[in-house]
Structure 1
Amino acid sequence: MRFGLFVPQGWRMDLVGIAAEKQWGVMLDLAQRADAEERWESIWVYDHMHTVPEPSQEATHEAWTVMAALASTTGRVRLGQMCTCMSYREPAFLAKVAATVDVISGGRVEMGIGAGWYEHEWRAYGYGFPRAGERLARLREGVEIFRQAWTTGSATLDGEHYQVDGALCHPQPLQGTAFEGSARNGIPMWIAGGGERKTLRIAAEYADYTNFDGSPDGFERKSEILREHCADVGSDFDSIVRSANYNVVIGRDEAEVQERLAGIKARFEEAGLTPAKAQEQVDNLRTQPAVGTPEQITQMLAEMQERGMTYAITYFAEAAYDTSGIELFEDEVIPELQG
């Protein structure tokens, strides 16, 4: 199994209490820590502008600005976003941005892409909030522009939502050109989301990786539907790496797990959530599959690996304040699954 690690950037209220001028240093320290620890294959950020579970004045650092900064300050670990919203930037421009970051990083970009969902920030930033069908149509047209741009150096599409006419993308991304990379897309494309009629069909057509439901039943269902779409469009199901995201709260025993959950609740309250809202968030987190002891989490991930989930992207809510949970995961979970 392969492992990725989210770097806190504020979106999930995970930089609360850290002064603005110190936040990048905290993020960079964690990124460089992962870069030096070969058990981590990749580091990740989110593409959002407003915090969750509710909008607030807490910092949320912009994804592709952070990607460029990480490209120049790390040297080994791969760099991804889970996931970029197609409609927040014109796709030809975004293809150019990603190609530039790929060159800066020496060919380490992973392109996570999705249709977008966070209505509050869509409307606040003046993007409107199109119906789901339109957002998915934009996603399909956009990934076609990406593929053309990254594999041929230009893109032309007279689409319903996007029109480009010989949009040049030079320099080309290093992946798929100078380096051994994805022959399919240039920069590896992660199609995120589990929409069964459209998103998974787009994944069957374009994805090098998918990212959807990490529960056993949900993962198996989405995988089977992806397989059916692959058969329909004539693509190789087995060539698509299937990943899932996991919120990890790990402790040597139940008491330590509860202690970490209490710390997460306190930070939500510090950010301005009511005690009831903060408790609701923690109660939801407590039911998730990667919450428990190393043995419990290892067993869960091993079972998911048997189902075909071979890339786990992990998020530790306390990472900006305390890396002991990450260390425990590195020492007792990853070695059991990477070997």
Structure 2
Amino acid sequence: MPDYGQELQFGTFLTPDAAGADRVVELALLTEAAGLELATIQDHPYQARFLDAWALIATILARSSSLRVTTNVSNLPLRPPYVLAKTVASLDVLSRGRVELGIGAGAFWDAIVAAGGPRRTPGEALAALDDGIEIIKQTWRAGPAPLHDVEIWVGAIGPRMLALTGRVGDGWLPSQSYVPPEQLAERNARIDEAALAAGRTPAQVRRLYNVNPSGDPGWPEWLAELTLTHGTSTFIVAGDDPATIQRFGTDVAPAVRDLVAAERAGSPRPAGPQPVEVRSGDAVRPTVDDGVRRSGVSPWDESTRPTYDSPHPPLAWSAQERATGQHLVDVHDHLRSELEQLFDLISQVEAGTLDAGAARSLINTMTMRQNDWALGAYCQSYCRVVTTHHTIEDTSMFPHLRASDAGLVPVIDRLEEEHHVIAGVLDGVDRALVAVVSEPDGLARLREAVDLLSDTMTSHLSYEESQLVEPLARYSFY
């Protein structure tokens, strides 16, 4: 099967566990922070342990800024198509075009019936899905229309459902556990045949794939091969492991993009991951703290920080070692860039206040409300991303390094202590956000709180990199 030339996308497949509601939202925010485009949510309305998928999606959209979100896939027998269409269109408008629609004909019929839904034969389920997609499209034409052309991705396995996908769907969304890679060619052929018969081109149907996580160093090459051989253009990693999400976004997705881009450009494809000796000067360089501080408050005494002296000879910095060490710097660079955007938002709010002459009077204007909302949502999103990043380190990376080298223990102890300090600083940002809309000097308080956050993050991230880049490269993590 061909490469359809579609733009590559990467995302996550999250479980809407009601017992860990905050964690699910944080994993979605981590998806965005890791550079992934898409978060998808299981939709099993009859499952008592799960949050409602669309209520969760609305929450994620409100707390993120660029992330696109959808169900994987919506349970049509328990989601009346007209109401589903209104929900999707409304959320797409409110999120400025960040919603897609994954949809399925239904399964687990006993559970659907117990929840008040219909029991359908395979033929009835196919007809209901066909009708449902048409109702959804008609509803969008009647209005309110989605802000962008929402794609309808069909979870299909059987021949007739695949034919429906080729005829009316915008994408095919199977899972690796149900459709293994060796079956993709045959299933894609059915979609292509139906698309051509309906006067469409096969490239009009996006090929998505829910993939199982893998620790294999050759995972990017395998995914790239699926794109180049079977036309798969959207990869969604299953599971709720933060480390997997970070690796998928910062390591795997960029590698797949590079491999596919090289092949599409006609460049020779690399045979696979090859450890190579790197020239002098190509070692991963930790970010240097420039010592500039915005706040007059010192969160800790930097002179008491322990340092790690490696007893080992210098690394040769193979490709794998470099990738592992660079991963920490890349994650930190994202946090640094987010912080700069946060200061920019604060400056915009301050500029609006000065134009009107009084912060309190501007709070009652639409512009001020929008600015405050955007600023508050962004601050809260940033704080959650930082917290999630530190949780990953405390529960996964740090124990691994402790066990690998006793000389790292004092450094890791100090880093964990600083994580607790940063958590307190983040709480201060939350309190200052409340003051923005309740106190005359709220914006000043918020800037002071974010100035302190900037100082603590700048100091902490540089210290952590200076101590851990080389050990992470040496002892690996994934």
What TM-score, normalized to structure 2?
A: 0.49
- Note if 1:36 corresponds to 2:1: no
Which residue does the alignment assign to 2:11? 4
Equivalent position to 2:42, from 46, 69, 74:
46
Query: What is the deviation of 1:326?
Result: 2.4
Query: What is the deviation of 1:213?
Result: 5.3
The 2-side partners of 1:207 and 1:138 are apart by 14
Equivalent position to 1:195, from 145, 149, 158:
158
Contact kept? 2:69, 2:99, Cα under 8 Å: yes
Which residue does the alignment assign to 1:146? 136
Which residue does the alignment assign to 1:338? 257
Provide, for residues 223-257 of structure 1, a one-character-per-residue CA deviation record: whole Å limited to 9, x for no partner.
Answer: 11111111211111112111111121x33xxxxxx
Consecutive unaligned residues in structure 2, runs of 5 or more: 1-7, 259-478
Which residue does the alignment assign to 2:227? 305
Query: What is the deviation of 1:190?
Result: 0.6
Query: What is the deviation of 1:33?
Result: 1.7
* Bigger radius of gyration among the two: 2
Provide, for residues 156-190 of structure 1, a one-character-per-residue CA deviation record: whole Å limited to 9, x for no partner.
Answer: xxxxxxxxxxxxx32x2111xxxxxx3xxxx1111
Number of residues of Structure 1 aligned to a counterpart in Structure 2: 247
The 2-side partners of 1:336 and 1:128 are apart by 45
Contact kept? 1:49, 1:121, Cα under 8 Å: no
Provide, for residues 71-110 of structure 1, a one-character-per-residue CA deviation record: whole Å limited to 9, x for no partner.
Answer: 2111101011110011212211111111111112111111
Query: What is the deviation of 1:50?
Result: 4.6
Which residue does the alignment assign to 2:199? 234
- Note if 1:173 corresponds to 2:146: yes
Query: What is the deviation of 1:203?
Result: 1.3
Cα RMSD (Å): 1.8
Which residue does the alignment assign to 2:243? 324
Contact kept? 1:85, 1:113, Cα under 8 Å: yes
Query: What is the deviation of 1:308?
Result: 0.8
The 2-side partners of 1:25 and 1:89 are apart by 25
The 2-side partners of 1:89 and 1:243 are apart by 22
The 2-side partners of 1:30 and 1:217 are apart by 31
Higher strand proportion:
1
Which residue does the alignment assign to 1:244? 209
Query: What is the deviation of 1:331?
Result: 3.7
Equivalent position to 2:22, from 25, 31, 40:
25
Which residue does the alignment assign to 2:62? 72
Contact kept? 2:77, 2:118, Cα under 8 Å: no
What TM-score, normalized to structure 1?
A: 0.69
Query: What is the deviation of 1:334?
Result: 1.5
Identity value in percent: 28
Contact kept? 2:13, 2:39, Cα under 8 Å: yes
Written as runs of structure 1 = structure 2, the 5 A alignment for 1:48-127 is: 48-50=44-46, 59-127=49-117
Contact kept? 1:209, 1:240, Cα under 8 Å: yes
The 2-side partners of 1:36 and 1:329 are apart by 11
Query: What is the deviation of 1:310?
Result: 1.1
Contact kept? 1:294, 1:332, Cα under 8 Å: no
Change (3 A) 1:207 1:200: same
Higher helix proportion:
2
